[in-house]
Amino acid sequence: MIQVRDLYKQFGKNEVLKGINLDIKQGEVVVIIGPSGSGKSTLLRCLNLIEMPTSGDIFFQGQSILDKKTNINKVREQIGMVFQQFNLFPHMTVLDNITFAPRKLLKLSKEEAYQLAVKLLKKINLEQKIDAYPSSLSGGQKQRIAIVRALAMNPKVMLFDEPTSALDPEMVGEVLAVMKQLALEGMTMVVVTHEMGFAREVGSRVLFMDEGQIIEEGTPQEIFTNPKHPRTREFLSKVL
């Protein structure tokens, strides 16, 4: 579904990604782990061109998204993204947050959009918050709504950029539960996280990144019980 070929990214003189190759298949849950500054978030942000790669190519459903002829907005409609800082729109209600993009882009009527929002909110047990503003929600609620906002566009892939890192510990569970449910429903997911438990339980494949490169990849079992590379071992010994 997504192919990354020889991807490089520099910020000024700082080389953050050094030749990434990656294939993500339909229905996979790819979890990217690694120390901070290893380029995991940058890689994720390159997948929908929120960050522009310096060189290399990215294919989404066989089509290069870096091609000048590709309409990146159309591609982004099919790639949902969830951010560490939630990034809900503070001046819109939960309803408007969820339905803003579908109404503008999928041309849903007010009624259709409302039904969609109710359906999605029921999934995360927050339908009573439909008229609330984000400022009145807890971090966990905000992030669950941010997930649902991305789902409202009915994307084919979901990208998660450290979705639980800005949350109080007691709220991490509720967000991970939504993500797990999503994985069970067959959603293709790419998740950058420090939640090793989630990686082990839900991930179909785990990538370990360090210094802009994918050092090691394999099933959760391979990575967590029998890491081959010394740097993977070192990292896991610190976080587990």
Q: From the CB of 84, what's the least distance to another protein, in Å?
A: 9
In the set 8, 59, 100, 114, which binds another protein (CB under 8 A)? 100
- 48 interacts with another protein by CB under 8 A: yes
In the set 26, 61, 105, 239, which binds another protein (CB under 8 A)? 105
Distance CA 119, CA 103 (A): 16
The residue behind tokens 């510990």 is 169
C-beta of 134 vs 227, nearer to another protein: 134
- 150 interacts with another protein by CB under 8 A: yes
Give the CB-side neighbour count of residue 92, counting CA atoms within 13 A. Answer: 15
Binding range to another protein, per CB under 8 A, among 34-42, 79-87, 119-127, 177-185: 79-87
Number of DSSP helices (H) and strands (E) in the chain, helices first: 9, 10
By CB atoms closer than 10 A (0-12, 13-18, 19+), residue 9 is: buried
In the set 10, 19, 50, 123, which binds another protein (CB under 8 A)? 50
- Residue 190 tokens, joined: 């790419």
- 193 interacts with another protein by CB under 8 A: no
Q: At 87, which amino acid appears?
A: N
Angle between helix 139-151 and 169-184 (nearest 10)? 20
Pairing of strands 55-60, 63-64: antiparallel
Q: From the CB of 83, what's the least distance to another protein, in Å?
A: 6
In the set 55, 61, 74, 219, which binds another protein (CB under 8 A)? 74
- 144 interacts with another protein by CB under 8 A: no
Binding site for another protein (CB under 8 A): 48, 50, 73-81, 83, 85, 87-91, 93, 100-101, 104-105, 133, 135, 146, 149-150, 153
